[in-house]
Chain A
């Protein structure tokens, strides 16, 4: 039947385009611009140890990605928790829609919005800064997109599992942990990197060449696992309540 699989996607997109939801994403470009200028200033004064313009471009892309990862993860938690707790959403599952679309529709809607903002932000960075000749730009962009997908997936899982604020706090802590664990000074057992999302490691490896392809695959795996868990929770929860 027409629209059976797209009903919740369309409703979610309409909700996500409200200022309340889209507004925080608009903070990403000015914050990123500030970070890029600050880093350029610090680099010219020899504080950061990054003198190479190519590395500064890559760093700017990763900064944009991580900022967006933070916003997308929090928004995903809040959005999923909000619709999951709302009666209208539950009642809408009585319509002749595919039950799976109740999970995948909002997920794809949040991911679409985050992806559009990602393209605009990273596109602006790539256009403004010189192309890093030694680095394959498309691969860097693809790698820096994976944390955004991970954030939306984790947000979907946490949003269904718990309240939006609690989920957002947990997500922020997880992102921070993943980020800090990637610093060269962090010394953790290798197996722990399979449990902690390798966001920071992907970034620090991304500043070198060749890049952290394995870390990217691990993060994709993390995203797939939380998504499956989220879908299972959704299935159980939609029958129990």
Chain B
């Protein structure tokens, strides 16, 4: 079986010279780099929305950007996960229904319950500009809980979160790992995920 995430000889000059890593089932890999180290470009390359340049990237053996890769993975970007003019809950419903391949009405209840549990019911009825960063970040992470992905690639998932929210996100990530998913977290060195990762790869 191929590794869930495989990056070989990736480079993004002048930020990243040569990066190779593999993440398998149930493994949390922390990719550590400071601001401007090329993390956001890397997640875009893994998601297939930016050309890879040098090197190769595979998700479950599939090319980034291919529908096979995107079906199995959830990508959480550091910013701009939602359209600025639309109510976040509606956007979440469509996304989660899309990833799960079911009609929107079938996911409404799950989202409602999750928002209630996270105390985000009121926040989710707003557009992104009306929320604080912590609420927005938590809502961006909802697909991790509500879609059971095999691969999750997260760019700074704990930034802007309160300590309570951090522990909630950490427990989400660990339950994903228990379900044999593979998680690649792109973080800065002080992130709590660095201490808990199975492997830490430094970008510089």
Contacts and interface: CB of A to CB of B under 8 A. Distances in A.
- Are A and B co-members of a single complex? yes
Interface of A: 1-4, 7, 10-11, 14-15, 18, 20, 86-99, 238-241
Given A2-B103, A96-B71, A91 B94 contact: no
Size category, B interface: 20 to 34
Contact of A95 (B50, B70, B79, B85): B70
A94 B48 contact: yes
B67 interface: yes
A15 B85 CA distance: 7
Contact of A10 (B85, B94, B101): B94
B97 A94 contact: no
Contacts, number: 77
Interface of B: 44, 47-51, 65, 67, 70-71, 75, 77, 79-86, 90-91, 94-95, 97-99, 101-103
A144 B84 CA distance: 35
Given A7-B98, A87-B77, A94-B48, 18 more contacts: A1-B101, A2-B101, A3-B101, A10-B94, A15-B83, A15-B85, A86-B83, A88-B83, A91-B47, A91-B49, A91-B75, A91-B77, A93-B47, A94-B47, A94-B77, A95-B70, A95-B98, A98-B67
A5 B70 CA distance: 14
A1 B67 CA distance: 10
Contact of B90 (A14, A86, A90): A14
Given A1-B101, A97-B98, A18 B83 contact: no
Contacts of B95: 95
27 contacts: A2-B97, A2-B101, A2-B102, A3-B97, A3-B101, A4-B67, A7-B94, A10-B94, A14-B86, A18-B85, A86-B80, A87-B80, A90-B44, A91-B47, A91-B75, A91-B80, A93-B47, A93-B49, A94-B47, A95-B70, A96-B67, A96-B98, A96-B99, A97-B98, A98-B67, A239-B51, A240-B51
Contact of A4 (B81, B82, B98): B98
B99 to A, nearest CB: 6
Nearest to B104: A3
Contacts of A20: 85
Contacts of B79: 87
A49 to B, nearest CB: 48
A238 B51 CA distance: 9
A20 B127 CA distance: 15
**4 closest A-B pairs by CB:** A87-B80, A94-B47, A96-B70, A88-B80
A241 B49 CA distance: 8
A132 B48 CA distance: 56
Contacts of B91: 11
B90 A88 contact: no
Contacts of B80: 86-88, 91
Given A1-B71, A96-B99, A90 B49 contact: yes
Contacts of B90: 14
B82 A88 contact: yes
A91 to B, nearest CB: 5
Nearest to A16: B85
Contacts of A89: 83
B70 A94 contact: yes
B29 to A, nearest CB: 19
A98 B22 CA distance: 27
A14 B84 CA distance: 12
B99 A95 contact: yes
